[in-house]
Amino acid sequence: FKMDTTPESYLDLFPLDAIVYLTPDSENVLEDIDPDKVYVLGGLVDESIHKQLTLRRAREQSLRTARLPIREYMVKAPNAKNYHSETLAINQVFDVLSTYYETRSWPAALRAGVSSGKGYVLPDTAEQ
């Protein structure tokens, strides 16, 4: 993948209506990747998880939001800590998006990017 870096803000580089801010707190499910949109991954990186923080940031900037379809394609796996998190690291989100773009399969994409440590599995692996 080709990548450019710049100190400029995405708000200055792209029209607001082209930006989709990915946040696990969004009510909107990302159903497909639109090549005409700009997806913000890890728009806010923090050592701890603050619920709704990225969603509030996107709303303050009047941006469209979406979340990965983890709940729609995966199930909570039983585990000793009863731990389940839809918050992923930037590289995991990138893996999900790039795999989906190549395969057009959310199950394949989520298998590629969501580690079992997050407490979610695809239904066909839930019993294993």
Per the document, the length of the chain is 128
- Candidates 52, 61, 62; CA nearest to 23 is 52
**Distance, CA of 93 to CA of 42 (rounded, Å):** 9
CB burial class (10 A; 0-12, 13-18, 19+) of residue 127? exposed
Catalytic residue among 36, 46, 95, 124: 46
Residues 57/98, Cβ–Cβ less than 8 Å = no
Token output for 121: 């599995």
Is 124 labeled as catalytic in the residue annotation? no
**Distance, CA of 16 to CA of 38 (rounded, Å):** 9
Annotated catalytic residues are 46
